Chains A and B, each alone.
Chain A
Amino acid sequence: MATQVQSHEDVLHATDTALRLVNQALGDLGTADSLAKIAAPMAEKGAHGSGSLLSLASTLLRAYGEVASLLDRIKQSRGIIQEAQDARLEQMNQKLNAVTSATERAASGMLDGLDRAIAVVTELETEAAESQDPVRQARYTALREELYGVMTYIQFQDITSQQLGYASAVINDTERRLEQLSDIFAPFAADVTAVSGTVPHSAPKHFDPNAVADKTDSQAFADSLFGAR
């Protein structure tokens, strides 16, 4: 038997459709009171004749009760979803943005410090050269190279900020999906907007979700391509 894997968009869409159908069916049936009015004559007839009519009426009443109870629980869960959407995800997004800003400020401060340190070391290197002290000069040169090396490692800030940008986009996307889910669970009197098959990103992507520090294989692949040109 073929297995069909549904995406979460498909599941949301199917849920929306199913709930709409249930809602419509319940609307057609009306309230439990009106259902009871329909079922009562059936039950009366059943008492005089057919037992199956009595059984059908009681099954309908029980089914209505079950579905109504299920819908009540779904409506309650809407509040929980909205709380997560409004408070927790927003808070998480703010924290991620704060981390990005903090690392950017820290990286900038480190670069400022390195610039100053390199300037001082270059001065000392020049003085050593002028005083014809090659050993001291070599030490300053080595120190300057170390400082440049540290500068290279500050690229981690760009890599982490791209990862945080991705995390933030995932949170925004989750927030949108929860909003759509919450709309499905909205009171059925309200006009419900159907969940679309795809959930678009609100912002253009300017981050790399796969940003990592070690990419030796990929660089080798790029070198093989560009080296051959």
Chain B
Amino acid sequence: MRFLVVDDSATMRRIIVNSLDRVGYADVVEADDGATALQRFGEGGIGFIITDWNMPQMSGLDFARAVRARADGAQVPILMVTTRSAREDILAAVDAGVNNYVLKPFTPPVLKEKIDAVLSVVAAA
């Protein structure tokens, strides 16, 4: 399964990619903002999206909404990994169609736990 990792921080992208590799997911493409991520997603083959929220050009929330608005993006799992911890933010992510939410800083086991949870829900649907 190919992951799309979206974060404007190169450091965070590296950490997420390393964490994915550590838990067995080595096929990853990266983008540094929502607009670029939407392009990458349009190229096809993305099976799972991990996105930050606060990014220039297009935020992760807008990116999630844009993906959900596409015919080929209605079902793709989206995991939000962010520092935004306000309850209204988390609720906004739910409304935008995000499948799960991880607050930074996270550990690779937590990331894996959330990915597994999302995949099991998607598989059951």
**A, B assembled together:** yes
On A, residues with C-beta under 8 Å from B are 104, 107-108, 111, 115, 148-149, 151-159, 161-162, 204-208, 210-213, 215, 218-219, 221-222, 225-227, 229
- Say whether B85 contacts A215, CB under 8 Å: yes
Residues of A within 8 A of B87 (CB): 218, 221
Residues of A within 8 A of B12 (CB): 155, 158
- Say whether B18 contacts A151, CB under 8 Å: yes
Residues of A within 8 A of B53 (CB): 208
Contact with A along B60-104 (1 / 0, CB 8 A): 000000000000000000000011111100110010000111111
Whole-angstrom CA separation of A72 from B4 in the bound complex: 62
- Say whether B103 contacts A152, CB under 8 Å: no
Residues of B within 8 A of A211 (CB): 83, 104
Whole-angstrom CA separation of A227 from B94 in the bound complex: 12
B28-62 at interface with A (beta carbon < 8 Å): 53-56, 59
- Say whether A108 contacts B107, CB under 8 Å: no
> In terms of DSSP, what is the predominant structure of the interface of chain B?
mixed
Residues of A within 8 A of B121 (CB): 229
Contact of A158 with B103 at beta-carbon distance under 8 Å, contacts A206-B56, A218-B85 already known? no
Whole-angstrom CA separation of A207 from B56 in the bound complex: 9
- Say whether B11 contacts A157, CB under 8 Å: yes
Q: Pick from A107, A204, A208: contact of B82, CB below 8 A.
A: A208
On B, residues with C-beta under 8 Å from A are 7-12, 14-15, 18-19, 22, 53-56, 59, 82-87, 90-91, 94, 99-108, 117, 121
- Say whether B90 contacts A225, CB under 8 Å: yes
For the complex formed, measure the closest distance between the CB of B56 and the CB atoms of chain A, giving whole angstroms.
5
Residues of B within 8 A of A219 (CB): 85, 101-103
Contact of A226 with B99 at beta-carbon distance under 8 Å, contacts A152-B15, A162-B54 already known? yes
Residues of B within 8 A of A227 (CB): 117
Residues of A within 8 A of B11 (CB): 104, 107-108, 111, 154-155, 157-158
Residues of A within 8 A of B54 (CB): 162, 205-208
Q: Pick from A148, A159, A225: contact of B104, CB below 8 A.
A: A159
- Say whether B15 contacts A155, CB under 8 Å: yes
Residues of B within 8 A of A115 (CB): 18
Residues of A within 8 A of B101 (CB): 219, 222, 225-226
Residues of A within 8 A of B86 (CB): 210, 218
Residues of B within 8 A of A108 (CB): 10-11, 14
Residues of B within 8 A of A229 (CB): 94, 99, 121
